[in-house]
Amino acid sequence: MLTSDKFRDECGVVAIHAHPEAEKLAYLGLHALQHRGQESAGIVTSDGERLRQHKSMGLVADIFGHDVLSSLRGVLAIGHTRYSTAGDSALLNAQPIMVQSNKGTISIAHNGNLVNAQAIRAKLEGQGSIFQTNSDTEVLVHLIALSREQTLPDAIADALRRVEGAFSLVMLRRCTARTRT
């Protein structure tokens, strides 16, 4: 992870709720936020049952053509355009991050800095956690999955109590009959 004593406020996140063309609005939102990051971009959508994801390196307009947006149809969407403040410039670190966990399928996009991410990551790795990226956002995913709280909202709240910094998050989860109750 990169360390710096300078404030960085780059990256952009967007979320769309309950719109029949959420993927298109997410694209337009990311296009408007392109100035906040030109490294990579991604969108995750939900049709209420399934999450669909596309992310790549490059500019929003180059990543999301008509065919890609058509494959992302949904009524919910989150998106991210990246300027790396932590982690390498690589597709592996592009967001949103989508994972299967004991709390269900979740997707998360993050803007900001978790100032204690390195310390938390070192502790989690010492306890056996395996990380696939070197983005500090993945620390949040691990904290949510490892939370002793039973529900996803409670696990998110528990994870957020453990991190320090200034940040914005947008998240989606796959709904099932079990998670709708």
Which residues are annotated as catalytic? 11
Question: Maximum Cα–Cα distance for the chain, whole Å?
Answer: 46
Measured distance CA(137)–CA(179) in Å, rounded: 24
DSSP lists the bridge partners of residue 15 as: 78
Contact criterion met (CB below 8 Å) for 140 and 100: no
Write 139-145 long-range contacts (CB < 8 A, 24+). 139/114, 139/163, 140/108, 140/110, 140/114, 140/169, 141/97, 141/99, 141/101, 141/106, 141/108, 144/101, 144/103, 144/106, 145/99, 145/101, 145/102, 145/103
Q: How far is CA 119 from the centre of its chain?
A: 20
